[in-house]
Amino acid sequence: MGISYRSYIGQSSNHFSDTLPTPANGNLSFNTPVGSCIDRLGRVWVADTAHNRLVILDKTLEQVLQIYGTVGSGAQQFNMPFRLLAHPNKNWIYVTDIGNKRVHILNYDDLSAIEPINHFGNSATVELKGPNGIVYHEGKLCVADEFYEGENGESRLVIFDELGQYLYEIKAITGPTLDEPLHLLWPQGLSIDEKGLLYIANTGFNTVIRCDWKGQSMPFSATNKPYIDGLELARDVSVIQGRILIPGAEANSIAVYGLNGRRQGLLQGFFAPIQITAFPESNRLLITEPILASVQLHEINLRALQKDNQRSTLVLKSIGDERDQFGQLHFVTSTAGELSTLRPSSTPTLESPLERLIEQQQSLQEQVLKALQPEAMPAWLSMSLSWQTEWLQRWQRSWINLFIPKKELGTSDVLWMVDAGNYQLQASDKADVDSARKASLPLLPGSLGIVALKPSTPLPNQYHYDSPLLVVSNFLSGIVTIYQYYPPLDELIPYTVFGALGSEPWQLSKPQGIAVDPTTNDILIADSGNNRISRWRLNAAGIVGLVDVFGRLGDQEGEFHTPSDITVDMQGHCYVSDQFNNRIQVFDGNGQFLRSWGQAGYGSAGDNFLLPTSIEHDRGYIFVSDLVNRAIKVFNIDGQFINSFSGFGADQNLGQMWMPYLMHVKNGKIYLPDCALNRINLYQFEPE
């Protein structure tokens, strides 16, 4: 009864065959690394968050010196180690262990011995709900408690002494220039300047706030406001060389502000950077790129950024593999199809000798390319080369795959997965950790949602009618591609495409979830950037045409604020996860509003939602993946809560979630791709 976790798909490569120390190049695979710091011996510490461990490297990033921690809640264990902080005067490292809701203090010495001193934040005195960013100043620590729920839902900062003794908390930022207090919502990164002022990445409001250690606002002289706004995203902030660096404030870049709050410029050539740490050598920055599974050393003179100009850094070093080995997933976003059982099989998935040979050759290719590259490259060139190499290898592998005999995929009991980071569809016929394998030519970058569609009659040029067509949305280009199974090659190839980027009715902007209406076989798309739903029909001639669009930006009935996913029941009623309005809306087949349920709020059960991201219908039940609550919630079609499963963390034994994306449910089997954990969690729902 209820939802039970069964297993997962997605191989981790976190074992070292050699004794440590060992060269980082070719041996190190990160899984969404977030935090970093430099200790007093100049060594680099990285929080390899989804691998639940710390990786310690030498200051050149050439050698892995030590690996520390395993998954769990014991003294030397973590559940998503997130941010790291080196004590300035002692050989201590603080680690925010967000999944275990505590902070570790670790002692290190020059012999690479690491000993836990203490952990705090999970006692009766103070219970942290989501320790994220951490900073130190004059014997005190400040911890951003991201998921703390105050009286009106606000988060908080918690101040401790350096040994973890609770001192006080800050729930709102106040000051004479403010009409009303600034509230914190999901604060993540923290930083301090030379005077010890606090800078808070207040993610829920997309602002960076400046205040003192009592929560008194400290306005910027250029704006007379104690915050920087107009940011696309504010997940982190770093004050370095008298500049305020905000990664992701604009896509693919780091925004740079002066301490007066005036924008100085933009560092370009990144993907989705998070933590920026000042390196001991001047003008060097250590930057984590969680989605790329990489940690990079960059060189830039921040003082050269003035008058809002744009610069590219020099990349001196980049470590971490591509997460493209056999069985691995990299930023998996959605699934379609079905597995016959969610229990792992007893037979291992074997890599063919030819596939192994290709991987070895490509690994050699990467090493040769790296050896040929100059010591430092502009960030944009480094990123471009890295992507081009990745793409070249995808194409090589796809072409070679045509000649490798494989088990036929065109049968039933296949789960199709959009592996966006590897630009591929992958397929699996069993619920094994390492069972994913490549199944298509490279996809468009930005491929996101997928749904299976069975036409009522065979279509012209459809090669294998028994296999469903796969409809794949592309978040970046607004194009939707329909793939078909092609038996001679045992691959998926494009059948047709539709859509284009824009806001006209026949165009799409940031399309996410897709569904098929069982009563009409229409394709419905959550057109999130246009805040509407669009309905398309694949006719018997194999041509797709637009049927209808409904909805617009707003928070009234029938309006949307980033609709991220859609599902349709057997009556043709459409259920939409209206993400930023924190509710589910229901429409009839003509797009007329019928009802809605849900409101903003924390809760692992019930109809409180915080950014409900994905929705599915299966046999009379509605399943909602509630992002911030990290919960799968089951309702009846009237919106009455039935059951749920929740868990924030990275423990693969417990079915926990970090960044669950587009969920798929069929015959009670729940397939939940997590694009940060890089795996698909498999759950079974059994109604009462």
Q: From the CB of 444, what's the least distance to another protein, in Å?
A: 6
Residue closer to another protein by CB (options 100, 528) is 528
Q: From the CB of 192, what's the least distance to another protein, in Å?
A: 24
Rounded to 10 degrees, the C-alpha dihedral 398/402/407/411 comes to 80
Q: From the CB of 346, what's the least distance to another protein, in Å?
A: 34
CA gap 450, 526 in Å, rounded: 12
CB–CB of 155/170 below 8 Å? no
CA gap 247, 255 in Å, rounded: 6
Residue closer to another protein by CB (options 167, 553) is 553
Residue closer to another protein by CB (options 16, 395) is 395
Q: From the CB of 315, what's the least distance to another protein, in Å?
A: 15
Question: Residue 293's Cα: distance from chain center in Å?
Answer: 11
Strands (E), 637-668: 641-646, 664-666
User: How many angstroms separate the Cα of 328 from the Cα of each of 13, 227, 313, 419, 421?
Assistant: 8, 41, 30, 9, 11
Interstrand relation of 166-170 and 156-161 (parallel, antiparallel or unpaired): antiparallel
CA gap 531, 552 in Å, rounded: 5
Q: From the CB of 13, what's the least distance to another protein, in Å?
A: 21
CA gap 50, 58 in Å, rounded: 22
| Helix (H/G/I), strand (E/B), else coil: 641 | strand
Residue closer to another protein by CB (options 166, 380) is 380
Residue closer to another protein by CB (options 445, 589) is 445
Residue closer to another protein by CB (options 577, 644) is 577
Q: 114 has which bridge partners?
A: 108
Q: From the CB of 601, what's the least distance to another protein, in Å?
A: 7
- Amino acid identity at 102: R
Q: From the CB of 219, what's the least distance to another protein, in Å?
A: 19
Residue closer to another protein by CB (options 85, 479) is 479
Helices (H), 430-575: none
Q: From the CB of 230, what's the least distance to another protein, in Å?
A: 5
Residue closer to another protein by CB (options 16, 391) is 391
DSSP assignment string, 119-145: EESBSSS-B-S-EEEEEEETTEEEEEE
- Spell out the SS3 assignment of 643-678: EEEECECCCCCCCCECCECCCEEECCEEEEEECCCC
Residue closer to another protein by CB (options 77, 328) is 328
Q: From the CB of 610, what's the least distance to another protein, in Å?
A: 7
CA gap 477, 509 in Å, rounded: 8
User: How many angstroms separate the Cα of 642 from the Cα of each of 148, 610, 635?
Assistant: 26, 18, 5
Residue closer to another protein by CB (options 7, 582) is 582
Choose among 547, 574, 683, 538: nearest CA to 625.
683
Q: From the CB of 28, what's the least distance to another protein, in Å?
A: 23
CA gap 537, 453 in Å, rounded: 11
CA gap 676, 73 in Å, rounded: 21
Q: From the CB of 26, what's the least distance to another protein, in Å?
A: 24
Q: How many other C-beta atoms can be found within 10 angstroms of the C-beta atom of residue 396?
A: 14
Residue closer to another protein by CB (options 577, 652) is 577
Q: What is the CA radius of gyration of the chain?
A: 25
